[in-house]
């Protein structure tokens, strides 16, 4: 996985909530927690929403435990992008079923 621009995997990076996260939650870790991105990385979409007032702790998923929060100015949700037409890239790797993968067939959009 490439280096996250906001340091999601640095020591002490938090995931807050599940499905919808406050703006100070780690985006990459949240995407792995939600299942929209695998551990090896990938392309995700991020939607921004008005903040949630309260969220209680979630369960542990993929070795990541979500924490609760009391108030958030903005929140975000992550979406898996599995269609090259949705990604800002001209190259992708797909598996035998045509799904994005980190091993498989290399496809180049021309």
The Cα-based distances of 64 to 5, 16, 45, 95 in angstroms read 20, 10, 20, 27
Residues 71-83 have pLDDT tens digits of 888 888 888 876 6
Fill in the DSSP letter of residue 3.
Answer: P
> Is 5 among the domain residues?
no
> Is 59 among the domain residues?
yes
> Is 2 among the domain residues?
no
> Is 90 among the domain residues?
no
CB neighbour class for 43 (10 Å; exposed up to 12, middle 13-18, buried from 19): middle
The boundaries of the domain holding residue 35 are 15-81
Task: Output the domain CATH number for residue 49.
Answer: 2.170.130.20
Residues 48-95 have pLDDT tens digits of 888 888 888 888 887 888 888 888 888 888 888 766 555 566 777 777
Residues 6-42 have pLDDT tens digits of 556 556 678 888 888 888 888 888 888 888 888 777 7
pTM for the model stands at 0.64
> Is 50 among the domain residues?
yes
100 φ/ψ angles, rounded to the nearest 5 degrees? -55, 140
pLDDT at 2 over 50: no
Number of domains composing the chain? 1
């Amino acid at each position: 996985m490439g280096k996250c621009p906001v340091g999601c995997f640095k020591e002490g990076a938090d995931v807050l909530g599940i499905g919808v996260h406050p703006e100070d939650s780690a985006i990459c870790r949240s995407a792995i927690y939600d299942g929209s991105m695998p551990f090896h990385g990938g392309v995700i979409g991020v939607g921004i929403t008005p903040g949630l007032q309260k969220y209680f702790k979630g369960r542990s998923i993929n070795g990541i435990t979500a924490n609760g929060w009391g108030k958030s100015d903005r929140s975000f949700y992550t979406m898996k992008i599995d269609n090259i037409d949705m990604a800002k890239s001209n190259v992708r790797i797909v598996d035998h079923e045509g799904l994005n993968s980190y091993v498989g067939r290399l496809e180049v959009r021309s």
